[in-house]
Amino acid sequence: MSAPRNQRLAAAKQVAEPALRRWPARLARTLAGLAGLAALGVGLWLLITPRAPLAGIERLTLGTTPVTVYRPAGAGPAPAVVIAHGFAASRQIMEPFALTLARNGYLALTFDAPGHGQNNAPLRGDLADREGRYRQLRTALDAVVAHARAQGDGRVGLVGHSMGSEAVARYAMERPEIAATVAVSLVYEGTTATRPANLLVLTGALEGGLRPLAEAVLVAAAGPEGVPGETYGDPAAGTGRRVVFVPGAEHIRVLFHRVSMAEALGWFQATMPLTAAPPPGAGFLDNRLPALGLVYTGAVLLYWPLVHLVQPIGPLGGQAAPFPRRGWWAVALVPALLAPPLLRLIPAGDLLPIRVGGPLALFFGLYGLLTATGLALLTWGRRAAWSGLAVWRRGILMAVAAALLVVGYVLLSFGVPTHMFALNYFPPPPRWPVFLAVFAAMLPYFLADERLTRGAGAPRGAYALTKGAFFGGLILAIVLNPRELFFLVLIAPLFVVYFAFYGLLSGLLYRRTGTIVVGALVNAVLFAWIVATTFPLT
């Protein structure tokens, strides 16, 4: 009896030991999921509750221009502030200013410029056509300012960022009835010592290329001895001037910095003071970045346990053969040298009806095809045995299903909060064909890059290495084609964030599924989604 008993004990031990080894990982995933849910809940609560004291948030459309109106609590009309976003942005990104002003008694209005956000009217002309662009923005401003004046007490101020800063500065110079202007990341060089009336310039301390324009405003107001952070002129007479370099802020961070909120609020309180008592809770300054960070961190933590719901698939078509290390470096680096000059030879701006996004998608496509060609040459004659058509078909279906599940999760957990509190994330119907075209252009890159970084023979840190090569190629493309691509310099930090985030997604998917296809599909869909959604229609 002892032998069978020992056999049973040995068999039980063989079953129990792997389970025990898996237990810490399962516990860690469970704790991560719980922490993720908590972070998501707290972050969303912190983002939603600051809106509660308002009298209401109204969404309407004036002509083709979508507008959001933030109504302050309290009785009686209030001064109104119209807020314009920058290039490739939308009204959501300007909500920190709108919410700060509305919570302190001002009627605040944000809007989507032509070709941006949910505004389907195209933004005509290229990036160098400042006059044509301004004419279109002026038409939108006319409609929103008229509505603001009718809804408020008749006084109107303006806020604009980047492209919007030029629009509001020029608009206020043409219309002396505009009481005050806040130009964030000013890109317009035509202001004077007295026009527009009551000008505040907020430029990020890290925006080195825009610093001279802000300093020119300061010199015009106070001479060479002017000091940033000091007010010059007389706001009561309309000649007020103030320039502030927002500490630690670049082109995006300046829109969320508490210094930006405090300076803008203080400027309107000095130039368009309230005639009624401030509403309850006055003094509020929007500070949503920590809350957004909680939401995004929670979504990442929750993704870790959820990805284990995806079933293992294995390599499609058989195990790929490894490739030699020196060949890997050639495949990783050569596209960065060849794609930029090839892009320069193609009229990329005419291929897709989105400004900047069209050439960017074509760059991805060229880079991906060059990488795929290099991989094919490197692995020619070194392929493993074919696993069979039936296995391949089943694997493809499973990969597509898994990719759709992950994309759905990302759109829900990242996309919805982003759309509500940061940036337009869901494209209107006219952009859907654009998304499909951008996806088709980007898919070869992500398939080839996944094979290059996850497949057999990839060196340690391969994902970071190929992204470094890609950024080097993109910089060269911008140098060769600045007219169409220079704007990418301003949003380069976002690309770093995107690649890091999508690399995390695809890395976990590869380890779970055993195939590069799921991660490549997910990354191509999500990258194409954001490009097709954010860059302006033409």
14: left (phi over 0), alpha (psi -120 to 50) or beta: alpha
Neighbouring C-beta atoms of residue 361, cutoff 10 Å? 27
Model's pTM, two decimal places? 0.90
Tens-digit pLDDT profile for residues 433-477:
999 999 999 999 999 999 899 866 788 889 999 999 999 999 999
Give the CB-side neighbour count of residue 164, counting CA atoms within 13 A.
31
Q: Do residues 414 and 299 make contact, with C-beta atoms less than 8 angstroms apart? A: yes
Output the tens digit of pLDDT for each of the chain's 538 residues.
Answer: 455 655 544 544 444 445 445 667 788 888 999 999 999 999 999 999 999 999 999 999 999 999 999 999 986 899 999 999 999 999 999 999 999 999 999 999 999 999 999 999 999 876 678 898 999 999 999 999 999 999 999 999 999 999 999 999 999 999 999 999 999 999 999 999 999 999 999 999 999 999 999 999 999 999 999 999 999 999 999 999 999 999 999 999 999 999 999 999 999 999 999 998 888 878 999 999 999 999 999 999 999 899 988 888 877 655 566 667 778 899 999 999 999 999 988 876 567 888 888 889 999 999 999 999 998 888 775 555 555 566 667 888 899 999 999 999 999 999 999 999 999 999 999 999 999 999 999 999 999 999 899 866 788 889 999 999 999 999 999 898 887 888 888 777 778 888 888 888 889 899 889 889 999 999 999 999 999 999 999 8
* Separation of first and last alpha carbons in the chain: 83
pLDDT at 533: 94
Neighbouring C-beta atoms of residue 456, cutoff 10 Å? 13
Q: Do residues 286 and 70 make contact, with C-beta atoms less than 8 angstroms apart? A: no
Measured torsion, CA atoms of residues 499, 500, 506, 512, in degrees rounded to the nearest 10: 180
Tens-digit pLDDT profile for residues 146-167:
999 999 999 999 999 999 999 9
3-class state of residue 333 by DSSP: helix
Check whether the bond before 196 is cis (ω within 30° of 0). Answer: yes
pLDDT at 487: 82
Measured torsion, CA atoms of residues 207, 211, 217, 219, in degrees rounded to the nearest 10: 150
What gap in Å lies between CA 38 and CA 32, rounded to an integer? 10
What gap in Å lies between CA 383 and CA 321, rounded to an integer? 5
Cβ contacts of residue 170 below 8 Å, gap of 6+?
A: 134, 138, 188, 190
